[in-house]
């Protein structure tokens, strides 16, 4: 891997302001970055790139500018994200990390290119109407596979939510769902006890800072099912919250399972099945929640 060179003042903005006529040198003597932006988040920007050492394969490169931050801390966080991504064995429902390197103050993470829409976009465009039921069941099954895979490799994602799944298509036209963004992930044995993540998907154990393990991912999966079934942007128990702090307090004070029981009384047996799974995922006691592998087994009847 390349090393940090403090005297090199290169920043992400230097690489993002080029025009289509500009020809940038290969990054790490290998990757040709393009002007095609694939997304932007709190931790960096993602661009389409070409890998000149691997048959001109198209990849995604996440560029994280460490300047203006505590570099040692930020570098450690990014390196953890990259190392975790590299150690996860290949799986069709998990985005593969391919490489990482540092040039100047920029940390680059090279990932498998997954072209498609974020699942939250699909949820807005395709409300959970009866005609869309088969589609959503396939999605949920594949999401459970992705979570089961990282858990089998002793990784906690810590930010399971609709935005971190990309819905794409296989060459044969079938649907594939891919889990992305391991920025908050950690190994089972060294997960910090800190309240991080997206509040509406956060479990009581995270809000109470009593320890974070793979069961927080299971809670988030239950929240995701509830959002699909209710066609809402936030779970029903957080509808009165006005901001993240208020949502955290509500979650902290949850004492009973917040899943709407009426959803289990639906006449459609498939909806009853996923509603029952969601209710189990939202048990206050994390030890009462099912494993991701168990969920995947129950949802396996919805294989595409």
Question: Domain spans of the chain?
Answer: 12-112, 117-302
Phi-psi region of 44 (alpha: psi -120 to 50; beta: other; left: phi over 0): left
What is residue 49's three-state secondary structure?
Answer: strand
Q: What is the pLDDT of residue 190?
A: 59
The secondary structure of the chain in percent helix, strand, coil, rounded to multiples of 5, reads 40, 20, 40
What is residue 177's three-state secondary structure?
Answer: strand
Do the domains at 12-112 and 117-302 have one common CATH topology? Answer: no
Q: What is the pLDDT of residue 5?
A: 35
Q: Which of 274, 266, 158 is nearest to 222 (CA)?
A: 274
Residue ranges, the chain, pLDDT below 50: 1-10, 12-21
Q: What is the pLDDT of residue 304?
A: 64
Specify whether the CB–CB gap between 120 and 139 falls below 8 A.
Answer: no
Provide the token pair at 288.
Answer: 């009462």
Q: What is the pLDDT of residue 93?
A: 97
Q: What is the pLDDT of residue 180?
A: 93
Phi-psi region of 263 (alpha: psi -120 to 50; beta: other; left: phi over 0): alpha
Q: What is the pLDDT of residue 193?
A: 54
d(CA 281, CA 217): 9
Domain 117-302 has CATH 1.10.510.10: yes
The class (CATH top level) of 12-112 is alpha beta
Q: What is the pLDDT of residue 3?
A: 34
């Amino acid at each position: 891997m390349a090393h940090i060179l403090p005297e090199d003042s290169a920043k992400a903005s230097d690489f993002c302001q080029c025009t289509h006529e500009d020809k940038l040198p290969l990054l790490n003597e290998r990757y040709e970055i393009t002007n095609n932006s694939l997304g932007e988040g709190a931790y960096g920007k993602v661009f389409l790139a070409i890998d000149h050492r691997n048959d001109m394969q198209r990849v995604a490169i996440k560029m994280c500018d460490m300047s203006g931050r505590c570099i040692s801390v930020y570098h450690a966080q990014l390196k953890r994200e990259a190392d975790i991504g590299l150690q996860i064995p290949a799986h069709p429902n998990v985005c593969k990390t391919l490489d990482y390197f540092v040039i100047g103050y920029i940390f680059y993470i090279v990932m498998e290119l997954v072209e498609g829409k974020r699942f939250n976009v699909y949820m807005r465009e395709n409300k959970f109407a009866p005609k869309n039921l088969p589609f959503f069941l396939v999605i949920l099954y594949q999401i459970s596979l992705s979570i089961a895979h990282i858990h089998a490799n002793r990784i906690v994602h810590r930010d399971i939510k609709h935005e971190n799944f990309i819905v794409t298509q296989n060459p044969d036209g079938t649907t594939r769902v891919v889990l992305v963004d391991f920025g908050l992930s950690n190994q089972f044995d060294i997960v910090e006890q800190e309240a991080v993540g997206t509040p509406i998907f956060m479990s009581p154990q995270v809000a109470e800072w009593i320890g974070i393990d793979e069961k927080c991912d299971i809670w988030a999966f239950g929240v995701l099912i509830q959002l699909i079934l209710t066609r809402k942007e936030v779970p029903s128990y957080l509808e009165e919250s006005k901001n993240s702090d208020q949502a955290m307090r509500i979650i902290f004070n949850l004492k009973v399972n917040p899943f709407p029981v009426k959803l289990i009384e639906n006449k459609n047996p498939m909806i009853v099945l996923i509603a029952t799974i969601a209710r189990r995922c939202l048990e206050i006691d994390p030890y009462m929640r099912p494993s991701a592998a168990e969920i995947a087994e129950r949802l396996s009847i919805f294989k595409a």
